[in-house]
Amino acid sequence: MFIETETTPNPATLKFLPGREVMPANTREFANEEDAAASPLAEALFSLGDVTGVFFGRDFVAVTAGPGVEWSTLKPQVVGILLDHFVSGAPLFHAGSASAITVPGDEEGHLGHAAEDEDIVAQILDLLETRIRPAVANDGGDVAFRGFREGVVYLAMQGACSGCPSSAATLKQGIESLIRHYVPEVSEVRAA
């Protein structure tokens, strides 16, 4: 098995591609060791001590290193853990772990929307799914819908995108421009 790596716009995060499916649907982010308790793989990565975030995408694992950590030292350790995990066929999540379940739109911090905005929200979600999320996944992250109120779309950047220096520009210049072009009822996109 060979694991490829790619840089991301976030210099603290590397994207690791094991050449196979990681998450069959949705994504899962681990921001600390407590969150990582739901996954043997995330636990092992956090046990390295220099890892501050882990993100599972459809076909990749994005790993974020702490401040001042050199990837030249950490990268081989991460690759070793990923190889051991995928070659052994170990489960991605501990059996019966409710933390393993991810449901789009049901994440913590969901702001919701008014019933009369259902058609607008459906258009926004379609754009997120078909155009925005695939592009953001290329950079080792994801975008989660958190709500729509009074013309404002609330999104949460995840994975490599959550701490990326250019995430504000991506949100405003990229995502907001696209959504406003296709959904004129949207006046602004904000980070949730």
Query: Is residue 105 included in any domain, yes or no?
Result: no
The pTM (predicted TM-score) of the whole model is 0.75
The pLDDT of 153-161, averaged and rounded, is: 81
What the block records as the tokens of 20 is 């196979």
170, amino acid identity: T
CA distance readout (Å), 83 to 4, 86, 110 = 11, 5, 35
Give the domain CATH number at 179. 3.30.300.130
What is the per-residue pLDDT for 109? Answer: 57
* Total residues belonging to the chain: 192
Q: Is 61 helix (H, G, I), strand (E, B) or coil?
A: strand
Contact in structure between 14 and 45 (CB atoms under 8 Å)? no
Query: Is residue 28 included in any domain, yes or no?
Result: yes
Q: What percent of the chain has pLDDT over 90?
A: 49
Total number of domains constituting the chain: 2
Q: Where are the alpha helices (DSSP H) in the chain?
A: 33-36, 40-46, 71-88, 118-127, 133-138, 167-169, 177-182
Residue 104 has pLDDT above 70, yes or no: no
Per the model's pLDDT, the better-predicted residue between 182 and 96 turns out to be: 182
Residues 45-89 pLDDT 10s: 999 999 999 999 999 999 999 999 999 999 999 999 999 999 999
Per the model's pLDDT, the better-predicted residue between 73 and 95 turns out to be: 73
Can you tell me the distance from the alpha carbon of 87 to that of 171, in angstroms, rounded to the nearest whole number? Answer: 37
Structural domain for 125, as ranges = 112-191
Give the domain CATH number at 66. 3.30.1370.70
Q: Are residues 135 and 166 in the same domain?
A: yes
